[in-house]
Amino acid sequence: MTNTTIQKPFFHPFLSAFALAPETVPFSDKEIAEFDRELSEYEQIFLNPDVEKSLISKNELLASFAISKAENSQLTLTEARDVYDLMISDPDYDFINEKLKTRKKLTQKDHDKLEFFNIAKTFRAVNQKSLTIADLTPHFLRSIHQQLTQGLDVFADSLPDFTPYKSGEWRNNDLIRVGNYVPAPHVQIETGVTELLGWLKKHFTVTGVAIFHTALYALHPFNNGNKRVCRVLEHLLLRSLGLNTKNLYSTSYYYHKQKPRYYKYLLYSLERKNLDHFVSFALEALVLSIVSVVKTSLEVKRSEFLDRQNLEGLMKTALQPLVKHQEVQFKNLFRHARKKMARQTLVTYLQKATEQDMLAKRESGRTTFYGLNIDFPEVNTLKKWRDVIAKKLTFIPDEIRL
């Protein structure tokens, strides 16, 4: 504790209570910039153009879907994809008028579709523009909120326990709660946002963006839809810092995949007035989102390798776990395959694949491991990153592991 510097970066009556200890966050701005630089080099040399195109397209869809899920949308990914395709073909489609023409009651599903339509349309529009820090004004924040929540207040008379959005307007009441957390008094919102934007312009770094995200949500400037605004702004600001220039990844999708941890650390920061909890999680999300691009590329190449082998019967099913992992224990391969084939069938498949040099087999004591017998440049990149990350994080999702 004696070696830790405690900072209180804000002077605003509400935000001044929030503290930060920079030494406690897991990654420095320099380290994150290096991860992104290495990703750019990898993308330039090794990333399959078809995979890159797919990642860019999927990122826009999945990021929009993840942002909608932050608001507890019941939309499935398949339904979201249908709405996304509609948005691409007709960005001016009027959900509400089309629904009202049928004279049917508006439903939660109608709300969730319009909500996602707004998010996808806004996310796509802002990603096609170049945002500078000078563009970030209170008016710009309200315009983002207006775009994200346009038309949703029509559901106030149709849905129970509906919280109005008041699209594009600052919150004008003190009724909102986040768990037990009480956000800023509404009369302090505009001055709080103004100071926060001024602070970010003087501290426009990756960590500064994470602090901004946390503090803006702490203010809770809008009646509803604050997480949407924070996530879209975070994505824009990181790209304006020169990260993620190809739009290959999004922290929002990581937040969605780690939703319980997202809420835990967000509430920790809010209730304890400690910015470190969520700032650290946001930096974790950023680094592991970068890693996920290379991991996805590796999985595509492994899958293509299996496709070229003309595998017989259920052999591809037996080997499928090796797409996601460098090595897999026999017992885990059997756990994956046991509902589809007998143990001896799996053993026969593995033995045959090993004899054909398709698999590499490694024994360690009584444990047997199998892996695809082919080298990809992604493996070395991921191993190097893994060694760095393992020293920084106590938690690494299984899907990120080699």
Dump pLDDT digits (tens) for 197-212.
Answer: 999 999 999 999 999 9
Asked if 186 and 223 touch (Cβ cutoff 8 Å), the reply is no
**Residue among 141, 93, 89, 127 nearest 113 (CA):** 93
Looking at the fold, whether 246 and 374 belong to one and the same domain comes out as no
pLDDT digits (tens, 9 = 90+) for 27-44: 999 999 999 999 999 988
CATH number at residue 74: 1.10.3290.10
Model confidence at 191, pLDDT cuts 50, 70, 90, reads very high
pLDDT at residue 98, rounded to an integer: 80
Tokens of 112: 């969730």
Q: Which is nearest to 69 in space by CA: 294, 197, 255?
A: 255
* Per-residue pLDDT at 286: 97
Give per-residue pLDDT as tens, 262-285.
Answer: 999 999 999 999 999 999 999 999
Shared domain check, 329 and 245? no
Instruction: Show which of 262, 296, 330 is a domain's final residue.
Output: 296
The pLDDT value given to residue 83: 94
Torsion, Cα 333 335 336 337, to 10 degrees, reads 80
**Does one domain contain both 262 and 357?**
no
Domain boundary (263, 296, 329) is at 296
Query: Are 90 and 159 in the same domain?
Result: yes
- Give the end-to-end CA distance of the chain in Å, rounded to a whole number: 35
pLDDT band at residue 56 under the 50/70/90 scheme: confident
Residue 313 lies in domain? 309-400
Question: Does 66 lie in the same domain as 195?
Answer: yes
Contacts 24+ apart (CB under 8 A), 138-142: 138/190, 138/193, 138/194, 138/197, 141/193, 141/197, 141/221, 141/229, 141/233, 142/168, 142/169, 142/170
Structure tokens at 232: 């879209």
Q: Is the pLDDT of residue 59 over 90?
A: no
Percentage of the chain lying above the pLDDT 90 cut? 76
Cβ neighbour number for residue 203 with a 10 Å cutoff: 13
Look over the chain and give the mean of its residue pLDDT values, rounded to a whole number.
92
What integer pLDDT is reported at residue 19 of this predicted model? 97
Whether residues 263 and 341 share a domain: the answer is no
- The answer to whether the CB of 19 falls within 8 A of the CB of 274 is yes
In the structure, what pLDDT confidence band is assigned to residue 96 with cuts at 50, 70 and 90?
Answer: confident
Chain segment 101-146, per-residue pLDDT in tens: 777 788 999 999 999 999 999 999 988 888 889 999 999 999 999 9
Count of the separate structural domains present in the chain: 2
Query: Is there a domain that residue 302 lies in?
Result: no
Question: Is residue 73 a part of any domain in this protein?
Answer: yes
pTM to 2 decimal places: 0.92
Residues 243 and 317 in one domain: no
Who contacts 116 (Cβ-Cβ below 8 Å, separation ≥6)?
64, 65, 68, 73, 75, 80, 83, 84
Cα 230 to Cα 75, 151, 235, distances in angstroms: 21, 20, 9
Tell me if 240 is assigned to some domain: yes
Buried b (16+ CB within 10 A) or exposed e, 115-147: bbbbbbbbbbebbeeebeeeebeeeebbebbbb
| Whole-number Å distance between alpha carbons of 77 and 340 | 27
Q: Please say if the pLDDT value at position 89 is more than 60.
A: yes
Regarding whether 230 and 119 lie in a shared domain, the answer is yes
Q: What CATH number did the domain enclosing 356 receive?
A: 1.10.10.10
Asked whether residue 206 is domain-assigned, the answer is: yes
pLDDT over threshold 90, residue 182: yes
Residue 2 confidence class, pLDDT cut points 50, 70, 90: low
